[in-house]
Amino acid sequence: MKIHLVAAARPNFMKIAPLYHRLKAEAWAEPVIVHTGQHYDFNMSDAFFRNLELPDPAIHLSVGSGTHAQQTGNVMIAYEKVIMDGDRPDLAIVVGDVNSTAAVALASVKLGVKVAHLEAGLRSFDRTMPEEINRIVTDALADILWTPSPDADANLLREGVPAEKIEMVGNIMIDSLEMMRQAIERERYYDSLGLVPAAYAVVTLHRPSNVDSPETLRKLVHHLVSAAGRLPLVFPLHPRTRKNLAALGLLDALESFPGVRLVEPLPYIPFMSLIFNCRLVVTDSGGVQEETTYLGIPCITLRPNTERPITVTQGTNRLCGIDQMEEKIDEIFAAPIQAVSIPALWDGRTANRVAASIHRFLHLL
Ligand code: UD1
């Protein structure tokens, strides 16, 4: 059975990796990696394939950057051509919530190709986020919806998705983390930055709502520099963020501030090594909210909402605005946030459950 594993952007690669390795071990499965090319820099893409021990993608659509419509449209056209030219899978698996996720789901269903969505059902209820639109579209189209947490099941049921299409399988990101744990623990990337464990914070910010408006970005830089006065900050810069900082002339100022270490986007293993050993995280990423909850590390998410509420109700994640960030850091210094418990099925065995689900779906019993 040919199974396309579709990946597009940095947060997708750690979601397909455990599943690729798991399916590769099955006689009935032929997993084929399809890279849409939404992320194309070495640091945003190839480095992840190497760190996660993935082969080069068998199919590369090379769509690159563009407006939302261009990116989505180009992926639809290119993936439709793959199918029409004869490379038709028995199942297309899409992950996460990037433009390519929705685009491949749309192109597939119109050609009668079955689609499964891994990480289905997450909702921020904020339709100004492009990712929320991608989630809603993808979940409306998918034949199988694999969810990471009970809130996601509830969202889908409320939207009228039939219960038999939904299966809670847990969090696939935790599979990647556990698969690479030894390499992450050996890495000690913080040494190369002159930092010691538990005495620095990691910052990752790239959402348009935080980094696209000059006024917001200036405010962000002001608070980061102020926070760096009490705790060194390591800030791996997403290309979007770097570009916008440079355009405002803020890059050099930020870089020259003694407590700030600006670095290139990091491959999975050094990045996770930084997270494993930090005192706290400031982020607007989705995946980092989950990883810190699993590891019990305090996480400040600079967003008004999250599609991953379980990281707040059960985990170490706290939402706040940019102006409240320093106050939140003070609170964490006074009393580190404790997790209530690790969410159910975030256990490193999600790929096994997904493989079993595919087996059932394709009637291979
Ligand atoms: C995308 C996803 C977002 C995800 C994020 C992770 C959508 C709508 N957004 O946002 O959900 O959290 O990836 O990183 O799908 N660029 C490079 N090199 C690259 C990739 C991008 O220079 O390898 C530049 C692009 O030219 C663009 C900017 O970075 O100007 C943003 O890239 P884009 O793919 O539009 O969205 P992200 O912000 O990365």
Distance 235 CA to ligand 1 centre (A): 17
Q: Would you state the structure tokens that stand for residue 210, as one six-digit string?
A: 């935080």
DSSP secondary structure letters along 257-299 = STTEEEEPPPPHHHHHHHHHH-SEEEE--SHHHHHHHHHT--E
> 315 and 221 in one domain?
yes
Residue 177 inside a domain? The answer is no
> 148 and 30 in one domain?
yes
Top mutation candidate among 238, 242, 268, 271 for ligand 1, by most atoms within 8 Å of CB? 238
> 240 and 221 in one domain?
yes
Distance 239 CA to ligand 1 centre (A): 7
> 120 and 235 in one domain?
no
Top mutation candidate among 12, 13, 98, 241 for ligand 1, by most atoms within 8 Å of CB? 98
Distance 101 CA to ligand 1 centre (A): 13
Distance 24 CA to ligand 1 centre (A): 29
Distance 196 CA to ligand 1 centre (A): 31
Which is the closest atom of ligand 1 to the Cα of 285? 12
Residue 301 inside a domain? The answer is yes
Q: Rounded distance, CA 69 to CA 2, Å?
A: 29
> 13 and 153 in one domain?
yes
DSSP secondary structure letters along 288-336 = HHHHHHHHT--EEE-SS--S-THHHHTSSEEE--GGGHHHHHHHHHHSP
Q: What is the pLDDT of residue 356?
A: 97
Top mutation candidate among 129, 217, 240 for ligand 1, by most atoms within 8 Å of CB? 240
Distance 243 CA to ligand 1 centre (A): 11
Which residue owns the Cα nearest ligand 1 atom 13? Answer: 9
Q: Rounded distance, CA 268 to CA 16, Å?
A: 13
Residue 47 inside a domain? The answer is yes
> 200 and 133 in one domain?
no
> 354 and 321 in one domain?
no
Distance 38 CA to ligand 1 centre (A): 7
Catalytic-labelled residue, pool 4, 35, 117, 206: 206
> 58 and 166 in one domain?
yes
Residue 176 inside a domain? The answer is no
Query: Is the CB of residue 44 below 6 angstroms from any atom belonging to ligand 1?
Result: yes
Q: The domain containing residue 38 runs over which residues?
A: 2-171+346-362
Residue 356 inside a domain? The answer is yes
Measuring CA to CA, how many Å separate 173 from each of 60, 85, 117, 227? 23, 33, 14, 29
> 237 and 166 in one domain?
no
Q: What is the dihedral of CA 34, 40, 43, 49, to 10 degrees?
A: 10
Query: Is the CB of residue 9 below 6 angstroms from any atom belonging to ligand 1?
Result: yes
Per-residue pLDDT of the chain (365 residues; tens, 9 = 90+): 999 999 999 999 999 999 999 999 999 999 999 999 999 999 999 999 999 999 999 999 999 999 999 999 999 999 999 999 999 999 999 999 999 999 999 999 999 999 999 999 999 999 999 999 999 999 999 999 999 999 999 999 999 999 999 999 999 999 999 999 999 999 999 999 999 999 999 999 999 999 999 999 999 999 999 999 999 999 999 999 999 999 999 999 899 999 999 999 999 999 999 999 999 999 999 999 999 999 999 999 999 999 999 999 999 999 999 999 999 999 999 998 888 999 999 999 999 999 999 999 998 75
Query: Is the CB of residue 130 below 6 angstroms from any atom belonging to ligand 1?
Result: yes
Q: Is 206 an active-site residue?
A: yes
Residue 77 inside a domain? The answer is yes
Count of domains observed in the chain: 2
Read off the CATH number of the domain in which 159 is found: 3.40.50.2000
> 73 and 189 in one domain?
no
Among all chains, which residue has been given the structure tokens 């579209």?
A: 137
Q: Rounded distance, CA 302 to CA 284, Å?
A: 5
Q: What is the pLDDT of residue 38?
A: 98
Query: Is the CB of residue 10 below 6 angstroms from any atom belonging to ligand 1?
Result: yes
Q: Amino acid identity of 48? A: F
> 155 and 55 in one domain?
yes
Top mutation candidate among 12, 13, 14, 38 for ligand 1, by most atoms within 8 Å of CB? 38
Q: What is the pLDDT of residue 363?
A: 84
Residue 341 inside a domain? The answer is no
Query: Is the CB of residue 62 below 6 angstroms from any atom belonging to ligand 1?
Result: no
Which is the closest atom of ligand 1 to the Cα of 134? 8
Residue 94 inside a domain? The answer is yes
Q: What is the pLDDT of residue 365?
A: 54
Contact (Cβ atoms closer than 8 angstroms) between residue 6 and residue 92? yes
> 63 and 22 in one domain?
yes
Is pTM beyond 0.95? Reply is: yes
Query: Is the CB of residue 75 below 6 angstroms from any atom belonging to ligand 1?
Result: no
**268: nearest Cα among 47, 6, 35:** 47
